Amino acid sequence: MMTPAPSSSGAVAKAPLRVALVEDQRDTRESWSRLISSFPDFTCVCACASGEEAVRVIPGAKPDVILMDIFLPRMSGIECTFRLKVLLPHTPIVMLTAHDEDEMVFLALESGANGYLLKRTKPADLRASLLDVLSGGAPMTSEIARRVIESFRKKGPRRDESVSLTAREEEAVVLLTKGYSNKEIADHLNLSIETVRSHLKHVYEKLHVRSRAEAVAHYMSKRME
């Protein structure tokens, strides 16, 4: 599992594998760069200090794989990943992060990252992960794999007690999802604000939420599967 197949095509040993690095902190950048080049079959062809620089120079460097710090000033690693994926759709990008900060993981994966590692990854593991991603794998920590897998469980919650809203409640929610305030909803439905509030209170109860934003999120995510 995740043990990268020992490079199925044996003819790769010729040229070293070209790695590009994006990391804003100089010390870290240089030490990673040195580490990568210290692997016998790897070379760090490019070490960028910002997302802007990365988008500018990495396409010309034609790396085989890109290591990307997730937290960059201005253009985030997420945004940078997305832009690089447009320019180099077939070049795998592995995200690096200090902590596996929750939401970032999924944003990164959605932006096209092929792997997700912690900065404290041991050199041998880093090398294995680079080989893994180059052979079409998706290196990630156990913890992140678990969370990724867990996100699927939530995605398939059929057998839910399909909540049935009444006509008025549904109308109110639909207007909620348009961002209307209680007063605006009241006007649109020719109701008193208090009536709208009453309907929404019932909606909150039925959907098990406590705010309009949560209700909107809940309702919209159910309307799309």
Binding site for DNA (CB under 7 A): 24, 49-50, 52-53, 73-74, 76, 166-169, 181-183, 189, 191-195, 197-201, 204, 210-213
Among 119, 188, 197, 202, the residue binding a copy of itself under the rule CB under 8 A is 188
Closer to a copy of itself by CB, 44 or 173: give it: 173
Pick the binder of a copy of itself from 20, 54, 78, 196 (CB under 8 A).
78
159 binds a copy of itself (CB under 8 A): yes
Distance CA 95, CA 86 (A): 16
13, 87, 98, 213: residue in contact with a copy of itself (rule CB under 8 A): 213
- The answer to whether 73 and 102 have CB atoms below 8 angstroms apart is no
Instruction: Find which of a copy of itself, DNA, none residue 194 binds, CB within 5 to 8 Å per kind.
Output: DNA
Of the candidates 98, 86, 84, 82, the residue with the CA atom closest to the CA atom of residue 20: 84
Least Cβ distance, residue 133 to DNA (angstroms): 27
Separation of alpha carbons 5 and 212, rounded Å: 49
- Tokens at 19, concatenated: 């790695």
How many beta carbons lie within 10 A of that of residue 24, not counting itself?
17
Phi, psi of 159 (to 5 degrees): 65, 30
